[in-house]
Structure 1
Amino acid sequence: MEKMTFIDLFAGAGGLSEGFVKVGFEPIAHVEMDAHACKTLETRNYYYALKKANKLQVYYDYLLGNISHEDLSENVLNKLNNVINASIGDNNTNIFNRIDELCQGREVDLIIGGPPCQAYSVVGRHRINKLEQDDPRNLLYRQYARFLKRYNPKVFVFENVLGILSAEEGRYFNNIKVYFRTLGYELDSRVLNTSDYGVLQNRKRVIIIGWKKGSGFSYPELVAESNPYTVADILEDLAHLNPGDLNPVTKYAKDTNEYLKKYAIRSDVDFVTQHVARSHNDRDLEIYRIAIDKWLSNKERLKYADLPERLKTHKNQTSFTDRFKVVDIDNYSHTVLAHIAKDGHYYIYPSREQVRSLSVREAARIQSFPDSYYFEGGRSAAFKQIGNAVPPLMALRIAEEIKGSL
């Protein structure tokens, strides 16, 4: 039997796609405007192709730095480049033409994706006071809808931030629902917290699922799972790390644990990549030590106004007072955002012995990416991709239920 197929729009690094691939859906195309994320998607495609061909050692040689990305590509037989590096906008002709080629006569069963969410985010609205009426990001759902009209999938999944519910007093969200219904779809939405699906992070997202009218489909029952694990389960097997260490490959420091095995986070080899953290200046390190001590001693968050004057660099001491935040090792992490690419102040490692911000691999694990997932483009690009991603474990649960219903 042919696999059910999907198109991934606004694909990012592929977190949403990863869940659907894991349960057997076949990606016809990933459409993404960021070049680094596109290379990440290509690398992930090579991983799956080499795994299918029982040639994973080639992939691991790439991670170890023994071969180039070009060498990696040359080891993949019958590869079909389904990653489209393009911006979805008013003229999607070239994207449509390329997807038509990739379809090879097959129907599209599913379209998934989440348009960039800055226009709907609470922080974004605070910064500009109100949504600009002419901001094109507010209408990206209409671009998403163009793909629904052209490929007529059985089901679609549309992911976004909570702010989409309240933007312009709910008008935008209502417009989205009305517009999708005019295309012949019924739909429903839920606010899902990733921590209910194995992700060790409190991250709430709006998930709209739509289906063709009269198909008998309905919004799947996504039952929350017991999740007794904590961030400690993510951190304990990774090597001690100093800020600014430049080791692209490190050995695991301990044996695996129940969480890492249950959710297939850890690789089946003895090394891990991208366990690298940014360097910090002396002032920031001193602030980190204060924040870590307050949190580990009393579960108390550092407030910027309480810092010694010599450590303050901002005049504004009333907004974003928790700009320095330690990750809770005894619980789930707070939400990982793309801002982690700019600085690590909001993601301080929870240990007096390792005074630094999170490494790329630690952030990826908090987002539930497996250790075999490699993010291209360097450290800052990797952080950005991770922060923008849909956690694969939540995507997996959505994909399982949709597959069962279809």
Structure 2
Amino acid sequence: MATPSAIRQKLARLQTGAKVRVLDLFSGCGGLSLGFHAAGCEIAAAVECDPDAARSHGLNFHAGAKEHTEPRDISATPPAKLTKALKLGHQSLAFDVVIGGPPCQAFARVGRSKLREVADHPEAFRHDPRARLYIEYLEYVQECAPLAVLMENVPDILNHGGHNIAEEISDVLESRGYRCGYTLLNAARYGVPQMRERMFLIAYRKELRQIVDFPEPTHWVDLPSGYEGSRAVALKLLSRDLFADNGHYVAPPEADKALQPAVTAKQAIGDLPTIYARKLLSDGSLTRGARRLNVPIAFTRPRSISQYAALMRSWPAFQAKPSLYDHVIRYLPRDYELFSRLQPGDQYPQAYACAEKMFEERLAQLRKQSVAPEAGTAAWRRLRDGIVPPYDPNKFPNKWRKMEEDWPARTLMAHLGKDSYSHIHYDSDQARTISVREAARLQSFPDGFVFSGTMNPAFKQIGNAVPPLLAQRLAETLIRKMYAGVSMEEPGSRIDVKEAVG
């Protein structure tokens, strides 16, 4: 339970210029953690139930120490148990900031009054398992008494099951001594080569006397209609009381067209080694089977690389090695030739039509040789299945997409762990889906960041993550506010964060 004494001790500690200590809940491999690490914080601990993601986090932030690579179910790991296992002392004194993104499915159809009930009753979650994950998150905040909280989630959380969960969470935190605000941010406007829209909620202890605001954009991109439409729908369907005096929504900072253009896909991955899928297939180098991340590929530096690629190669504490070990792709022999024919921006309906044209071309070739199978026969179906993908283009219009080289990538999803058709490489000569390392680049993970497991788990970890560059921008804003609060400056004043954290 948070106590005034714990809060005072943390405020006094930060007044000395000590590093901010971070606890990352539902951490995944560590996108948020990396952003806070880059902003000068100490990543003290994480809770993650997926074994591969937990190991990735431990490898990158704790040198693979056993106690930090262990997967933990938050429902079975109360704060006191975590801090005891990691030898961090009492939970109320161990952390200054709690970050993370609990899954939003838990609160479908759970209203504000119900959320308050479960939040205020330590045993209530046993009677309503839908609330469990969020309640565990709120319980950690209650027990660990952080000076600040950062929560991330999908935009739909603003209208999930008919409820604005971000507003409901803000109400609970407000009742526990925090000042809250939340908004929607797009990663492409913060230097990430990906148009990823997410909700972010920040809360400060009232003792800090800080208002909640969000970092100014650093890049400009005119978002496609689908992104602006999704944002408009999320905001339109918010609860009616959102814009009341006690609402916690904060309008996102405006992006100025005078800012530098958003980082493009080619600027993000164009310097990585080429992988010619059809060539590898023909010479037998690319075969079916698990893709392990242990085969080195020489990683030379071209004469000229983008500013973004240079950052990914030289990120402090995560610099690139002489070889890449995760530049691996999927085995998709049916589709490589099809990928080569697609135009940038093409999606599944265009791919399906192109594949049918390829099938007709192949039939015409076989007819010239008088060996074409008759329509509808088993041989005809086998030939067609070897060229044309099986999905109905009317039901799966967005299943595939060929990236545009001069535009940021579309949102990477956890579904990358199952297939990568949503991100087909823009280079028709390479004719393939993106590699694990290319996905990491598009998510702004530096080249020295290690992913545990084989290819599919690595893709899933990347798709689930918060882009580290955006996380860093948020962390810098949050830390600046914290140090301003403990230095007794006026709310909103600016201080030298690097000097404060040493």
Q: C-alpha displacement at 1:118, in angstroms?
A: 5.8
Indicate whether 1:88 and 2:61 are aligned: no
> Aligned equivalents of 1:346 and 1:80: distance in 2?
36
Structure 1 runs of 4+ off > 6 angstroms?
none
Q: In structure 2, which of residues 87, 94, 99 is the aligned counterpart of residue 102 of structure 1? A: 87
Match of 1:252 in 2: 299
Cα pair 1:116 1:137 within 8 Å, conserved: no
Cα pair 1:36 1:376 within 8 Å, conserved: yes
Number of matched residues? 356
Indicate whether 1:13 and 2:29 are aligned: yes
RMSD between aligned alpha carbons? 2.6
1:23-68 alpha-carbon deviations (Å, 9 max, x no partner): 2211221100011111111210255xxxxxxxxxxxxxxxxxxxxx
Q: C-alpha displacement at 1:174, in angstroms?
A: 3.3
More displaced stretch, 158-167 vs 217-226: 217-226
Which AA in structure 2 matches 1:237? Answer: D
Match of 2:176 in 1: 183
Distance 1:375 1:224, change over 3 A: same
Cα pair 1:119 1:137 within 8 Å, conserved: yes
1:202-245 alpha-carbon deviations (Å, 9 max, x no partner): 00110000112343122234100034331111222111114448
Which AA in structure 2 matches 1:347? Answer: H
Q: C-alpha displacement at 1:186, in angstroms?
A: 1.8
Q: C-alpha displacement at 1:169, in angstroms?
A: 2.3
Indicate whether 1:270 and 2:322 are aligned: yes
Q: In structure 2, which of residues 329, 338, 349 is the aligned counterpart of residue 287 of structure 1? A: 338
Cα pair 2:24 2:98 within 8 Å, conserved: yes
> Aligned equivalents of 2:475 and 2:57: distance in 1?
19
Indicate whether 1:166 and 2:159 are aligned: yes
Cα pair 1:120 1:164 within 8 Å, conserved: no
1:284-307 alpha-carbon deviations (Å, 9 max, x no partner): 22432343xx32xxx544416635
Cα pair 1:161 1:206 within 8 Å, conserved: yes
> Aligned equivalents of 1:390 and 1:402: distance in 2?
16
Cα pair 2:154 2:199 within 8 Å, conserved: yes
Structure 1: stretches of 5+ with no match in the other structure: 48-72, 74-78, 122-133
Indicate whether 1:380 and 2:396 are aligned: no
More displaced stretch, 102-111 vs 9-18: 102-111
Sequence identity of aligned pairs in percent?
29
Distance 1:269 1:315, change over 3 A: closer
Cα pair 1:189 1:209 within 8 Å, conserved: yes
Cα pair 2:184 2:200 within 8 Å, conserved: yes
Match of 1:237 in 2: 271
Aligned with 1:99: secondary structure? Answer: helix
Aligned with 1:170: secondary structure? Answer: coil
Q: C-alpha displacement at 1:154, in angstroms?
A: 0.6
Distance 1:135 1:257, change over 3 A: farther
Q: C-alpha displacement at 1:108, in angstroms?
A: 1.7
> Aligned equivalents of 2:274 and 2:35: distance in 1?
30
TM-score by length of 1: 0.80
Q: C-alpha displacement at 1:8, in angstroms?
A: 0.6
Match of 1:193 in 2: 186
TM-score by length of 2: 0.65
Cα pair 2:25 2:98 within 8 Å, conserved: yes
Aligned with 1:7: secondary structure? Answer: strand
Indicate whether 1:327 and 2:374 are aligned: no
Match of 1:41 in 2: 57
> Aligned equivalents of 1:248 and 1:363: distance in 2?
18
